[in-house]
Amino acid sequence: MAEGFIEKTKDFFGFGAVESYDDAAYDRDEFNDYRADDDRRTGGETATGRHSHSRYAADNPVDRRSTAVPPVEDRRPSSYSRPAVEREPELVVVSVDSYRDAGKVTPEARRGDIVAFNLGNLDKADGNRFLAFVMGVASALDARVEKLDGVRNFVLLPEGTRLTMDIRDALSARLSGRLSGER
């Protein structure tokens, strides 16, 4: 009985056995007119690779090499590229009281500063949204987000920046104690 049920279900959804691939409403004979000398099959290409069909023919062929992409050195830098002058990153502590404070992180991170923040004043859902936003900023700027000691303490580090254990401990204490000097 189970096999009958399975077979009926397959047939219902169209996965049953196929008796014949011939369909009365579909005339397959019209596609059996292949000729080796027929240019319609090859797209009308000649030996040079140009189309001979009148719609594609051109009196003066276009030299596509003249529109080549300039070398990497000649291109303008992206608006998000790092400044040419490398500077020592500053440590910035951002006060986070709502999800709307996520915008405070972006300008500091774009400048290449180390941004530390505590998500203790946010509920779990807003904290996750805030952290997801900061992760997106980090991904766009080739930075990384690290968890610090303490409850919900994080730091956004620019590419190539590392924190020593002493600085990490001091930063964790500062975030947990919410000392002055926050932006």
Tokens matching residue 94: 């951002």
pLDDT of res. 94: 92
Tell me the per-residue pLDDT of 106-135, one tens digit each, with 9 for 90 and over. Answer: 999 999 999 999 999 999 999 999 999 999
Torsion angle of the four alpha carbons 23, 26, 27, 33, in this order, in degrees rounded to the nearest 10? -110
Tell me the per-residue pLDDT of 75-90, one tens digit each, with 9 for 90 and over. Answer: 555 555 555 557 788 8
Domain spanning 91-177: CATH 3.50.50.60: no
- CA angle at 173 for the pair 170 and 175, rounded to the nearest 5°: 110
Can you give the pTM of this predicted structure? Answer: 0.52
Tell me the per-residue pLDDT of 42-79, one tens digit each, with 9 for 90 and over. Answer: 555 544 555 455 555 555 555 555 555 556 565 555 55
pLDDT of res. 85: 52
Contacts of 141 (CB under 8 A, 6+ apart): 80, 109, 110, 158, 159
Confidence at 180, pLDDT banded by 50, 70, 90:
very low
How do the domains of the chain map onto residue ranges? Answer: 91-177
pLDDT of res. 8: 84
Query: How does strand 91-94 pair with strand 114-118?
Result: parallel
- Region 143-162: what's the mean pLDDT? 92
Q: Which residue has the tokens 């030299």?
A: 63
